[in-house]
Amino acid sequence: MPVRILGVFVLLCGCLSGCQALQRVDQGLYQVAEAVSEEDRVTGRRSLSLADRQAQIEAGNAYVEQVIAQEQKAGRGVNAQVNKVQYQRLLQVFDRVHRVSHLSEERWQPILVNNTQFNAFTTGGTYIVVFSGLMDSITDDAELAAVVAHEIAHTVANHAFERRSMSQLTALTGSNSARRSSYQAAFTHENEREADRIGILYCALAGYDPLAASRIWQRKYTEEGNARALFNHDHPVNAERYAEAKAVAEAVNPYYRKGQINPEAGSLLQNNVLWQKQQGTTAGEGGGLAALLGTALGAYVDHETAKQEEQRQAARSQFVKAVEASLKLESAQQREPHLLETRWRYQARQPVLKNVVMGLMVKRDDKLLRYVAHVEGSVNPGQVFVARFRLPDDLSVEELKKLPGKYYLDDALPR
């Protein structure tokens, strides 16, 4: 904030604290701010929200209750009807994480649904929906806690309604940003990063290994690469998510007490190595003016951050496309029944590459399957490099040759 504006702000606050008429004006300003924003439960700053907490709960829960009704109508059931053992496991992990969250006083309910996908979600209310496919895939309770904590964090930070409010207000002001899918993806991308940070802190405070989240994304990167480096992505790509999750985990690790809730969890939610919660001022004593200015500033910062991420993704996509255009397939040979070795020539003059991941997409039984090969070391201009694709046991190289498919560059970075 420029010095001159800061000086005026301080002067106004002083006047508001000493003049009854201005105090009433400030109280009115606070009511206006409350109508379009709320105090962030994590940082204390103002964030856009056109719905209060009760409205958020009603809207969010209505959607999940429709999901529950649909599952029951289809005869699949939910919770213990899906898997009694897994549901009890989910309840135990959820309980510990929820107890150290910023919404621990609310009565929440985890819902287990019968779906083979690796997924979980919240809608801003007091439910968290977890798919059976995720429960079956994650056998480590600390990793399950990381997923649960991430989803709780989305609601704690009011991401669902913040995103909706930002879209409505940017549209009303005539901004073109809200209409761009790339901007919308970037805005969500930043929310995902915030939910990761909050969730990892929750894990540490709840007595679950905070490094668990980084293990999930490291494994995903090994198995799937980054997958979305060529496109607008609303989640951090796996390699970036792994690196940031690891850094956050190492920062909050001093709060970790294995298997136990940290006795200082309450105070650590307010002040920790990731943030120090701001303290708001009182309505009538400059709080209204501060709330309005804080709302405007917070919205501007979020908007600019999303635009910067949008530009970063566009630049990265252009780089990957340029590198892909410079790659020439020299050969593709079977080395083992399920091992395909490909050789590529990097024909560009610059730059030297690192973290090269090649992809192979094939269509089988009307399904698109993707396989990745991580290239060891750096790749120099003019160099021939090897990318080896390890296929699953039910797909041999000979069978692969009969399927329609194509190679692509999954990701690469300049060294």
What domain range is 331 assigned to? Answer: 326-414
CA 83, 88, 89, 95 dihedral sign is positive
Kindly state whether residues 361 and 291 are assigned to the same domain.
no
Does residue 4 lie in a domain region?
Answer: no
E strand or H helix that includes residue 407: strand 405-414
Does residue 390 lie in a domain region?
Answer: yes
Categorise residue 361: left if φ over 0, alpha if ψ from -120 to 50, beta otherwise.
beta
Kindly tell me the burial class for residue 194, based on how many C-beta atoms sit within 10 Å of its own C-beta (0-12, 13-18, 19 or more).
middle
Does residue 14 lie in a domain region?
Answer: no
pLDDT at 176: 72
pLDDT at 46: 72
pLDDT at 19: 63
DSSP state of 271: B
Kindly state whether residues 262 and 232 are assigned to the same domain.
yes
Kindly state whether residues 251 and 379 are assigned to the same domain.
no
Does residue 232 lie in a domain region?
Answer: yes
Does residue 391 lie in a domain region?
Answer: yes
What's the number of domains the chain is made of?
A: 2
CATH of residue 341's domain is 2.40.30
Does residue 283 lie in a domain region?
Answer: yes
Kindly state whether residues 153 and 266 are assigned to the same domain.
yes
pLDDT at 44: 83
Kindly state whether residues 292 and 337 are assigned to the same domain.
no
Does residue 150 lie in a domain region?
Answer: yes
Kindly state whether residues 148 and 261 are assigned to the same domain.
yes
User: 360 — phi, psi (to 5°)?
Assistant: -135, 120
Kindly state whether residues 39 and 120 are assigned to the same domain.
yes
410 is written with which tokens?
Answer: 């999954």
pLDDT at 245: 98
pLDDT at 321: 93
State how far the alpha carbon of 50 is from the alpha carbons of 34, 35, 43, 97, 169, in Å.
9, 6, 19, 28, 10
Kindly state whether residues 211 and 287 are assigned to the same domain.
yes
**Listed residues 266, 282, 316: the one ending a domain:** 316
CA distance 334 to 351: 30
- Contact (Cβ atoms closer than 8 angstroms) between residue 171 and residue 121: no
Does residue 19 lie in a domain region?
Answer: no
User: What are 332-351's pLDDT values in tens digits?
Assistant: 999 999 999 999 999 999 99
**Listed residues 260, 287, 316: the one ending a domain:** 316
State how far the alpha carbon of 398 is from the alpha carbons of 63, 337, 339, 373, 395, in Å.
47, 8, 10, 18, 8
Q: What is the pTM of this model?
A: 0.87
268 is written with which tokens?
Answer: 């650590």
**Listed residues 316, 342, 371: the one ending a domain:** 316
108 is written with which tokens?
Answer: 């929440």
Kindly state whether residues 388 and 301 are assigned to the same domain.
no
pLDDT < 50: residue spans in the chain: 1-12, 16, 26, 29-30, 32-33, 284-285
Kindly state whether residues 383 and 302 are assigned to the same domain.
no
- Contact (Cβ atoms closer than 8 angstroms) between residue 407 and residue 367: no
Give every CB contact of residue 307 below 8 A, 6+ residues apart in sequence. 177, 183, 186
pLDDT at 346: 98
Kindly state whether residues 281 and 363 are assigned to the same domain.
no
E strand or H helix that includes residue 93: helix 84-99
Kindly state whether residues 402 and 308 are assigned to the same domain.
no
